[in-house]
Amino acid sequence: MATWIEQWQPATGDGPRVAVKDLIDVAGSVTTAGCRAVADRAVVADRDAPSIAAIRRAGGRLMGKVNLHELAFGTSGINPWFGTPANPADPGRVPGGSSSGSAVAVATGEADVALGSDTGGSVRIPAACCGVVGLKTTYGRLPLEGVWPLAPTFDTVGVLGARVDAVVIGMALMEEGFGVVAEPPEVVGRLLSDPAEGDVEVDPVIDEAVDAALQAAGFRVEPVPVGGWRSAWAAQQRLLVAEAREVLHGLVEKDPAGVGAGIHERMQAASRLTTEDLAAATVMRRQWTESLGALLGRHLVLALPTLAGRPPFPEQFGREFNLLTAPVNLAGLPAIAQPVPTRGRPPASIQLIGAAGSEELLCATAGRIERAVWG
């Protein structure tokens, strides 16, 4: 039951069943953001967030509010107030966050589509952990009105589904006419960190699974060495927690007992950041956005793993879990994560990055990979 914070009787009809991360306002429901301090003060929403209003108009059937990492401020999916959704791909491992309930709801078939949010990986990480598909949209593509904020210059609404076509359906519910382009690119750039910088250490089994999936889909793959990935991650994390501190400090001060220990730890870390830290991170943001933009000028799609290893057990969880996702948020770009076969469980996950506004192309590319490796 930890998957759901609130369940409803869906409207009649045959429209897609939609689960909503309890970060997004639904008229007649309370938004808790997965936090006791918020839940204790929340009032019933008097209107739908624009994304929800669009889903209703398109015939989607709302199934209820699903659980999340508290305040969407974390990536394990562990929630001290509402419980932790069980990872259906491997119940002993974390479900990933912050959109944990969204990923679990579609993985178990309790919903056809789920809405999530992604500020540093919060759609793609749970998708990878639970063996489903998750699309992080371009910053600003979908409206954030009626969505509980975390870091306003990074927050995005995203979609999760068991397969790529479910993600396409979810996007079409919110954007009339959304669909995949006719053909994905024939060449995919395979992002590789610069060994000289010691940027990223990826489990060889995960890397092999990503490369095998691209090969099976018949893409011509061109290696794309890229330096500075870890520096981009560090910059994004500093800016994210600084923005989150501005958003959340009032709530934490009013009700410190109603906020979990993990939130307090991150708020304290944010308080130690200096003006110089944030200025350097802002410079890195501009440089990194230009760098990825240049790579995408040569390759329409860039590929890399979503996670550097398998989802950990709770006691093994580390703070660099979003190392391969957060730099995408720093540049404001769209990315899709999808499962690919590997030895053992859960499956590995490949992440595809595109230029701003290229969600349709990413879905087409992901669909080609999915058909090749899963049929």
Catalytic residues: 21, 98, 122
Phi-psi region of 177 (alpha: psi -120 to 50; beta: other; left: phi over 0): left
**Beta carbons of 285 and 338 less than 8 angstroms apart:** no
State the DSSP H helix or E strand holding residue 20, giving kind and residue range, or none if neither. Answer: strand 17-21
Q: How far apart are CA 48 and CA 29, in angstroms?
A: 9
Which are the contacts of 253, defined by CB distance < 8 A and separation ≥ 6?
Answer: none
**Side-chain half-sphere exposure of 296, counting CA atoms within 13 A:** 23
Q: How far apart are CA 331 and CA 353, in angstroms?
A: 11
Q: What is the CA radius of gyration of the chain?
A: 19
> What does the DSSP 8-state code read for residue 14?
S
Which are the contacts of 257, defined by CB distance < 8 A and separation ≥ 6?
Answer: none
H helices within the chain, ranges in order? Answer: 36-41, 50-57, 100-107, 124-130, 164-174, 204-216, 229-254, 261-271, 275-298, 326-331, 359-374
SS3 114: strand
Distance of CA 236 to the CA centre of its chain: 15
**Beta carbons of 70 and 37 less than 8 angstroms apart:** no
Q: How far apart are CA 146 and CA 25, in angstroms?
A: 5
CB atoms within 10 A of CB 355: 20
Q: How far apart are CA 101 and CA 84, in angstroms?
A: 8
